[in-house]
Structure 1
Amino acid sequence: MTFDNNPPRPFIRSTSQRMLGGVCGGIAEYFGIDTNLVRAGAVLTAFLTGGTAVLLYLALWIILPE
């Protein structure tokens, strides 16, 4: 059995794909998906949760390094 010695990728905010804080861009870069899909999902989630997702976005904006 062999294991890769690749260190885990860091979960950081994006510096190139940002509109506000780069949180959605960082998520998109981490998972390798389109940034606009993550942004649309974030907006949809914000409406469906009554704004609670906005608090999560703000928390990630503060916690995640750039």
Structure 2
Amino acid sequence: MFKKHRQKQNGEAAVDNHNNSSLAPPPVSPITKNSLQFHCQLAHGSPTVFVSNFTSVRELYQKIAEAFDMSPSEV
């Protein structure tokens, strides 16, 4: 990524890439339905509900709406 210029013995510039190709990036795990969990409460102080088992924002809104007996468009 960054190139470091240094002088060679004979005065020419050498490029050191610091390329650590032997270091692989850590594996990325996919989001599972059980990995995201929220405690939700309406703005006016309703009871707190626990929402989980969703994989998208749309599903999150649907779960919140179901928990509070309202439509997802109101969330």
Q: Would you call these one fold, judging by a TM-score over 0.5?
A: no
Higher normalized helix content (fraction of residues): 1
Higher radius of gyration, 1 or 2: 2
Structure with the larger RCO, 1 or 2 (CA within 8 Å, 6+ apart)? 1
Question: What TM-score, normalized to structure 2?
Answer: 0.25
